Amino acid sequence: MSTPVPGPVRPPATVRPDDARRALVAGSVGNFVEWYEFGIYGYFATVIAARFFTPAGGSEVEGLVKAYASFALAFFFRPVGAAVFGRFGDRVGRRPALVLVVCLMTGATASIGLLPTYASIGAAAPWLLTLLRILQGLSAGGEFGGAVSIMTESAPPGRRGLYGAWQSFTVALGLLAGAAVAVVLASVLTPSQLHGWGWRVPFLLTLPLGLLALRLRLRLPAEEPAARVRPGRTRRRPGETARAVVLGVGRVMGWSAAGYTFLVVLPSYLQSTLGTSFQRALLGTVLANLGFAASILPAGKLSDRIGRRAVMAAGALLVAALALPLLHLLQDPGGPAYLKGAALLAAGAGVGLMAGPGPAMLAEMFPARVRCTGLGLAYALSNAVFSGCAGLIITEVVERTGNVDVPGYYAATTCAVSAVALLTLRGDDHERALR
């Protein structure tokens, strides 16, 4: 059985089609900017490690571990951002919360492109980078709850899964855009140019993207704060909310872990562990992200017809079954390229089956008065533990044990746990009105 948080049952508000489309676009574009940034940090992790975390004569692997530690630290500030901006969004309004988070994200990301490196200012460089990563983590934590809330609350009847899936789809677009920028730069620049100044370009590109997102969000219609409930109508139950958050973490942990393993961390794993070139590693990641992007919207739409449970559990079980065989195929230098490409596409599609219905599933677990906070915390905690630590865990464990199958075990185990947690969903949750 699903355990949604009790709250007042209200008839669904009538949303004008223009307002619904505006909410969908404004919510999506901010997610695109956020995940473009997180993607490029992962894709350029080896370059960032060399420029910020590896002093002269230092170990490259040690520098990469430190770069991923900074990556993970930002994720652990996501729950803080989810709590702060989620509460703000529930009590003041979705629109002002979304405006604040996109301003913070854009400013912090563009600033990374201007930072001096370790060679210029010494040990202060990684600390400044980590500070900006923390600001990004805070804004990213607030982004998901506000965006998913406004997108699902504005969805026409019977299309909540599809509208929520646009959040995940723009994640895929952001990751693909980051990968495309990385591929272009790696192709047109020499290694010395890429390490010298080329890595700054993708971070600086977030400035015009962020300004576009800000403009769209300022045009959103004002709404009454969801937490403004009449006296005597309902009483807050923090324990129920906390239990729903924990259950939500279990349901999306496979999505978080497998998503980052195959869609973000893969390039560094292929380079540092298997000796693959930067360009070929990025190509593999692009294929995985294409499979991810292609399955998200169909998965969200399908979940509106047959339910979130069936679609998401199928994705979790698919990734759990494919994870180790995929790694073994990639590790085989004589393996056919077309088989490797097909396996990467399938792994990405499996993650998409979880990511498509996931936002709507989380929105359906919480009433309006705590929806921003509740679903934002569930997603942020899952990402902090299972996504933010993915690169750090995989790189460190592979280095210490020499076992190159670690990414496969990591993705398979988390997806198996998620499949069990997803079985607690009711089959008709997708048919019920948001509370």
**What is the per-residue pLDDT across 353-390, written as a single tens digit (0 to 9) for each?**
999 999 999 999 999 889 999 999 999 999 888 887 77
**CA contacts within 13 A on the Cβ side of 255:** 33
In 347-400, beta strands by DSSP E: none
Top-confidence residue, 380 or 281: 380
- pLDDT of amino acid 31: 82
Question: Residue 51 corresponds to which amino acid?
Answer: R
The proportion of the chain whose per-residue pLDDT surpasses 90, expressed as a percent, equals 28
Report pTM.
Answer: 0.80
Q: Is the pLDDT of residue 63 over 80?
A: no
How many Å apart are CA 303 and CA 2, to the nearest integer? 16
Q: Is the pLDDT of residue 4 over 60?
A: no
Confidence class of residue 310 from pLDDT cuts 50, 70 and 90?
very high
How many Å apart are CA 115 and CA 191, to the nearest integer? 20
Mean pLDDT of 142-154: 87
Confidence class of residue 231 from pLDDT cuts 50, 70 and 90?
very low
292-320: b or e for each residue (b if 16 or more CB lie within 10 Å)?
bbbbbbbbbbbbbeebbbbbbbbbbbbbb
Using one digit for the tens of pLDDT, what is the confidence trace for 88-119? 988 888 889 989 999 998 999 899 999 998 88
Confidence class of residue 83 from pLDDT cuts 50, 70 and 90?
very high
Highest mean pLDDT among 80-84, 176-180, 183-187, 427-431: 80-84
Mean pLDDT of 414-422: 95
For the record, the structure tokens of 87 come out as 């509460």
- pLDDT of amino acid 12: 42
Pick from 369, 383, 325, 344: nearest CA to 153 = 369
DSSP string covering 257-291? HHHHIIIIIHHHHHHHTT---HHHHHHHHHHHHHH
Report CA-CA distances (Å) from 255 to 25, 27, 307. 23, 20, 17
Report CA-CA distances (Å) from 162 to 4, 194, 219, 283, 431. 21, 39, 23, 28, 13
Evaluate whether 402 touches 248 at the Cβ level (below 8 Å): no
Polymer length in residues for the chain: 435
- pLDDT of amino acid 416: 95
Cα–chain center distance at 88: 21
What does the mean pLDDT of the chain come to?
83
Mean pLDDT of 240-269: 86
Pick from 404, 376, 295: nearest CA to 82 = 376
CATH topology of domain 18-222+239-430: Growth Hormone; Chain: A; (1.20.1250)
Top-confidence residue, 274 or 337: 337
The proportion of the chain whose per-residue pLDDT surpasses 70, expressed as a percent, equals 88
Confidence class of residue 311 from pLDDT cuts 50, 70 and 90?
very high
Confidence class of residue 58 from pLDDT cuts 50, 70 and 90?
low
- pLDDT of amino acid 243: 92
Pick left, alpha or beta for residue 45 (phi over 0 → left; psi -120 to 50 → alpha; otherwise beta).
alpha
Q: Is the pLDDT of residue 346 over 60?
A: yes
Tell the burial category of 377 from Cβ atoms under 10 Å away from its Cβ (0-12, 13-18, 19+).
buried
Top-confidence residue, 133 or 315: 315
Pick from 307, 292, 410, 390: nearest CA to 350 = 292
How many Å apart are CA 67 and CA 46, to the nearest integer? 8
Domain coordinates in residue numbering, the chain:
18-222+239-430
Using one digit for the tens of pLDDT, what is the confidence trace for 5-15? 444 333 344 55
Mean pLDDT of 305-317: 94
How many Å apart are CA 321 and CA 71, to the nearest integer? 28
Q: Using the structure block, give the residue that is written with the tokens 């406004």.
A: 150
Mean pLDDT of 307-327: 92
Any residues with CB less than 8 A from the CB of 169 and at least 6 apart, and which?
A: 28, 293, 296, 297, 356
What is the longest distance spanned by two Cα atoms in the chain? 69
